[in-house]
């Protein structure tokens, strides 16, 4: 047997599984078709976009410095230096990961998997799989067959195009958006999720005219209703043209850079046909799992109608000793979710007894302006959940927070409480926290602890938050939910 575990894909789910498995003494090989580990998150997603957002917020701060009595101007953007900053950030993070993988003894294999099958081709052999890899290391080509007791599939996802409209020079996805040499003068963004909002905020802060087409009543339509409404309002206040109830019917592109988007707006009894033109159109309507390689079918890996691999809470598939993690499994397509999945799978393979991944306690964060963060259930979801009774919703306006007031921002904190149905005499627990405002990404971890540990509301409200901080907003919301508000009526 060559390896205890062969992992296909070195994104967050794959490399976290590799690191934890190696830490537990297993012999691990990590197969990645790209030149560098890290997957979309490190190379084309989380890290480079947040680097650009950090830079753009510096521009935004400079433009609004007069609010504080500071005479400052932004004279321009050196896009070459900005590109180097973004690439340098990615390089540093990826090199750190590569060094950690080497330190843990994980063998990194650059190549693309062409097949996974029982080692002897028979159904009776549940102890080993043969992984056929087309090598890419050093450009030498060739192939290699890896024998493994367990195989973890972590092939990630790719941007989803509009039906019948392929990506092009003018109609781009998030990967291409990161490689633009300059920020567009005007841009149309189709979509209203995290990727759409982050690019909308980024380009708006940098001075681009942004039109965002949202299919439903507001952005982040699958989130808490107040979060959606507040975020939609705040984006408009910043100058982003948010068009709701918009359905794209077609896109015309010319020989030169530029595109015209035709869309229909639901205006009640009648639909309005509209057209908008821009230098660039970003399509950010979701991501599709990379599960269409022929070997998924030949292996017999069960998937749902959308192509996601079917797994249980520990990442087990329908096949013995085949596991799956990350974006190819149904649920939130988030790096930190994949991290936890990878750890759980590695521990299960090693014979430990890890707790299954709980989707409802996974924090979600949007690094837009303002930011949004959420953990747990909305009021509607909690009311429909048989596990809970007597659901309450408490809303705290962020303008009541001193630090938020200093920034000139706005937002809200919503706390969802409920009484466990199987313990009617027990105290109300926190089942959801939803936030919009500055720096709320840093509060998501605390919110996860409260929701994930089912902390009683009365106990959570006794926790002390330092003054003056953004975190006080969550503390004030908890106090209000506990029936004893402090800095509000």
155 marked as part of a ligand binding site = yes
Q: For residue 303, give every residue at least 6 positions away whose Cβ sits within 8 Å of its Cβ, in sequence order, or none.
A: 291, 296, 309, 310
Residues recorded for the chain: 489
Question: Would you state the structure tokens that stand for residue 283, as one six-digit string?
Answer: 């399509």
Contact 189, 282 (CB under 8 A): yes
Instruction: Kindly state the helix (H) or strand (E) to which residue 7 belongs, with its residue range.
Output: strand 3-8
Interatomic CA distance for residues 440 and 365, integer angstroms: 8
Interatomic CA distance for residues 91 and 86, integer angstroms: 9
Contact 457, 430 (CB under 8 A): yes
298 marked as part of a ligand binding site = no
Instruction: Kindly state the helix (H) or strand (E) to which residue 247 belongs, with its residue range.
Output: strand 246-253
Question: Would you state the structure tokens that stand for residue 365, as one six-digit string?
Answer: 């964060």
C-alpha angle 481-483-488 in degrees, rounded to nearest 5: 80
Interatomic CA distance for residues 126 and 121, integer angstroms: 10
Q: What pairs with residue 316 in β-bridges?
A: 323
197 marked as part of a ligand binding site = yes
126 marked as part of a ligand binding site = no
Estimate the crossing angle of helix 46-63 against helix 79-104, to 10 degrees: 140
418 marked as part of a ligand binding site = no
195 marked as part of a ligand binding site = yes
Question: Would you state the structure tokens that stand for residue 366, as one six-digit string?
Answer: 């949007």
196 marked as part of a ligand binding site = yes
Contact 211, 189 (CB under 8 A): yes
C-alpha angle 167-168-170 in degrees, rounded to nearest 5: 115
Please choose, from the candidates 364, 355, 365, the residue with its C-alpha nearest in 3D space to the C-alpha of residue 453.
355
Interatomic CA distance for residues 96 and 466, integer angstroms: 33
191 marked as part of a ligand binding site = yes
CB burial of residue 338 (10 Å; 0-12, 13-18, 19+): buried
Interatomic CA distance for residues 282 and 285, integer angstroms: 9
Q: Which residues of 437-465 are buried (b: 16+ CB within 10 A; e: fewer)?
A: bbbbbebbebbbbbbbeebbbbebbeeeb
385 marked as part of a ligand binding site = no
194 marked as part of a ligand binding site = yes
26 marked as part of a ligand binding site = no
Place of tokens 């090693």: 350
247 marked as part of a ligand binding site = no
**Active-site residue numbers?**
467
286 marked as part of a ligand binding site = yes
Contact 339, 12 (CB under 8 A): yes
CB burial of residue 429 (10 Å; 0-12, 13-18, 19+): buried
483 marked as part of a ligand binding site = no
Binding site per annotation, positions: 50, 155-157, 191-198, 286, 327
Annotated binding-site ranges for NAD(+): 191-198, 286
């Amino acid at each position: 047997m060559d390896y205890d575990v062969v992992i296909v894909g070195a994104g967050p789910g794959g490399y976290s599984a590799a690191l934890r498995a190696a830490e537990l003494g297993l012999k691990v090989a990590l197969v990645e078709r790209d030149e560098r580990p890290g997957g979309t998150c490190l190379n084309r997603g989380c890290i480079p976009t947040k680097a650009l957002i950090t830079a753009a917020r510096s521009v935004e701060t400079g433009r609004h410095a007069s609010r504080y009595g500071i005479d400052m101007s932004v004279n321009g953007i050196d896009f070459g230096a900005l590109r180097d900053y973004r690439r340098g950030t990615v390089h540093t993070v990826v090199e750190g990961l590569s060094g950690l993988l080497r330190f843990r003894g994980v063998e990194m294999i650059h190549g693309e998997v062409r097949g996974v099958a029982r080692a002897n081709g028979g159904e009776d052999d549940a102890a080993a799989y043969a992984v056929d890899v087309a090598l890419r290391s050093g450009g030498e080509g060739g192939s290699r067959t890896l024998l493994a007791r367990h195989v973890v599939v972590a092939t990630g996802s790719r941007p989803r195009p509009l039906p019948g409209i392929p990506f092009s020079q003018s109609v781009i996805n998030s990967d291409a958006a990161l490689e633009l040499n300059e920020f567009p003068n005007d841009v149309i963004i189709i979509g209203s999720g995290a990727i759409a909002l982050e690019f909308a905020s980024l380009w708006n802060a940098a001075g681009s005219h942004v039109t965002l087409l949202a299919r439903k009543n507001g952005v982040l339509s699958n989130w808490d209703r107040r979060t959606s409404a507040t975020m939609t309002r705040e984006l408009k206040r910043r100058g982003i043209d948010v068009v709701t109830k918009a359905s794209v019917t077609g896109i015309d592109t010319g020989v030169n850079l530029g595109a015209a988007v035709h869309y229909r707006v639901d205006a009640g009894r009648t639909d309005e046909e509209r057209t908008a033109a821009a230098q660039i159109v970003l399509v950010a309507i979701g991501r599709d799992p990379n599960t269409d390689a022929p070997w998924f079918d030949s292996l017999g890996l069960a998937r749902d109608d959308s192509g996601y691999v079917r797994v249980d809470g520990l990442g087990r598939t329908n096949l013995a000793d085949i596991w799956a993690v990350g974006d190819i499994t149904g649920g939130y397509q988030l790096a930190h979710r994949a991290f936890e999945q990878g750890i759980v799978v590695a521990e299960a393979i090693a014979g430990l007894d890890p707790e299954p991944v709980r989707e409802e306690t996974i924090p979600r964060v949007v690094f837009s302006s303002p930011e949004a963060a959420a953990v747990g259930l909305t009021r509607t979801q909690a009311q429909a959940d048989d596990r809970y009774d007597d659901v309450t919703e408490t809303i705290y306006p962020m303008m009541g927070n001193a630090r938020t007031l200093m920034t000139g921002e706005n937002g809200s904190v919503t706390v969802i409480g409920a009484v466990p149905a199987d313990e009617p005499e027990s105290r109300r627990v926190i089942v959801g926290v939803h936030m919009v405002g500055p720096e709320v990404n840093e509060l998501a971890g605390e919110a996860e602890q409260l929701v994930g540990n089912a902390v009683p509301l009365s106990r959570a409200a006794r926790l002390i938050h330092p003054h003056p901080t953004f975190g006080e907003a969550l503390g004030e919301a908890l106090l209000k939910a506990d029936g004893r508000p402090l800095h509000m009526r």
